Amino acid sequence: MDKRRVLFVCVHNSARSQMAEAFLKKHGGERFEVESAGLEPGVLNPVVVEVMKEAGIDISRNKTKSVFDLYRQGRSYDEVVTVCDESQAGTCPVFPGEALKIHWVFPDPSGFTGNGDDKLAKTRKVRDVIEKKIIEHFGLA
């Protein structure tokens, strides 16, 4: 059986797309080939690394990747899921090709304000919503 190829995309590939990739790998196992990328790859968000570790997933060694690099490498996907928030809808990258294109709206942890505990709490909420969406959308319950 062919694996379903899925790409999660956001602006910096530093938070939401990384979480989505990690959760689909965790829950989807061998059924999926999963990657994530960004329009302007940044640096992994340390708060996201911490809340994912709390969920039992270590993404600390993940690298941020460019959508353009994946395209130039000739990658193709069955589904491309953008995970930007509403304020970034205009800059949310697209991946060319025949893939089914889906858009999910999640707040950007890099924009969270408050002290460290506030940022952790807000990022945990995003993490939990992303995991729930992954399980529901890909039928992994």
Active site residues: 10, 84, 92
For strand 4-10 and strand 32-38, is the pairing parallel, antiparallel, or unpaired? Answer: parallel
Cβ atoms of 134 and 23 within 8 Å: the answer is yes
DSSP strands (E only) in the chain = 4-10, 32-38, 79-82, 100-103
Contact status, residue 6 vs residue 33, Cβ threshold 8 Å: yes
CB atoms within 10 A of CB 115: 8
